[in-house]
Chains A and B, each alone.
Chain A
């Protein structure tokens, strides 16, 4: 993800266009819901041998029990019902499931960041590691880890590791890559003039690292952490699929698809989206505060 200066000022100018686009998306959603759900209404009318009245049928498409595509307000109602009106400890509360996914996400994100940082430091300071590890780091991402997720979960379960950790491993695998790539770039971003200055100060390698390389890499770190946190949420959700729909947002998706509960699928999906957006926003906010404290002119 590239960094753009003046994100805040741009955001203000973009409010109207963004709102327009979002409004159009909602209109398309409603229209699609009407079109996709209409055949079922027609079927019902035929079966009940009553006259098919288009206007009635259209209004019915907005409130089917198991619609092909639920209307936005149905999803919103379901989310409201399963977050605010249910007790948090209840198995049907989305907050309960969301928390399970979130905890795996955060743990995986933490591991991924640490692993990514360690690899990046090794790559920057050791030429042999740069030449041998870097190509494999890139190759590692062409392996569809999400596809291997079920095996990792099942195998780790067999050795007795279950619950949070297996999911966190998958998140880690997805999260470490953007960190490595971003931080290798970031740790190498000080220019020759600056590294030469450190040399004239007779700074040791660790001093150069703590006082020059690490501070200059902060914008890169936060840019890649934004990508990484989104990726680790995906990892946690997919990690929940093979455990047989026990708990978590991924489990809600799977259970919904088994029982044809489209509204449940969509509400879990929207919740995951909200979660992803807030995580990215929080990391971005922390990044902005840190960068301002450190005096990066933006």
Chain B
């Protein structure tokens, strides 16, 4: 146990925290501060982790320090890339696309029937709260070990949150606005494309964002139930078995990065599409 490292890390943490408090209270509106404060907080967490993991001599099998994970990550890029392609590009993205598109089309279809809406929305809400990940073994049985079964899990996981959100969104336009479309003699499709779909976009993007994290989780967890010898979920479960915890953390860092980027890209598209919404304009 080397107390110097631990005390140093804690001192760094306290100093950074004091700086953050000072910055946040001094320049609350500044853009740079708004960016800098959370970044400093993240760096502090890493320093604290590194200091405690090294200082307290925690065996790397339990908690490897960030520097060790970084070396592992940079030295095994090939494996990580193969896993990324298999899990993210093939399973998660394919399933995400199919699930969200299907839910969107179904929402458009049932939007014309209040009866179906009243019936499907509560069922959809119910299913959205269920542990859908449990169908993973069934899908592996039906669609085989490769990415198709993972994509199927992701499709089912994404379908209901997306459906519920889209149906909500299609109701978001106001009566007054719909009446205006009516007085313009707008057809159903004109009303849909020019008023109701744009008005539904905040809800649709909310669904897309929820599904983006679900998709990655679904793809990775489904791999625990059977997979070819590639993929993030496969790597995590086998490397845990071989006690290569640094490799597992590298894979996690990869997954977190991919998940955050995916979420970020969707948020960027959202900002561009729903530029008129009060939450973006303010």
Contacts and interface: CB of A to CB of B under 8 A. Distances in A.
A3 interface: no
Contact of A272 (B34, B131, B138, B262): B131
A127 B25 contact: yes
A21 B131 contact: no
Contacts of B221: 144, 146-147, 238, 241
Interface in B34-74: 34, 37-38, 40-42, 45, 61-63
Nearest to A36: B142
A88 to B, nearest CB: 22
A269 B149 CA distance: 18
A150 B237 contact: yes
Interface string A139-151: 1011111111011
B36 to A, nearest CB: 9
Contacts of A147: 216-217, 220-221, 232-233, 236, 252, 255
A257 B137 contact: yes
Contact of A21 (B25, B116, B135, B260): B116
A15 to B, nearest CB: 9
Contacts, number: 170
B7 interface: no
Contact of B255 (A143, A150, A226): A143
A169 interface: no
A146 B236 contact: no
A230 B133 CA distance: 12
Interface residues of B, number: 62
Contacts of A141: 213
A11 B233 CA distance: 41
Interface of B: 17, 20-21, 23-25, 28, 33-34, 37-38, 40-42, 45, 61-63, 115-120, 122-123, 126, 129-131, 133-138, 140-142, 168, 213, 216-217, 220-221, 224-226, 232-233, 236-237, 240, 245, 248, 252, 255-256, 259-260, 262-263
12 contacts: A14-B119, A19-B119, A20-B115, A21-B123, A25-B123, A127-B24, A143-B256, A148-B236, A249-B134, A265-B134, A266-B138, A269-B138
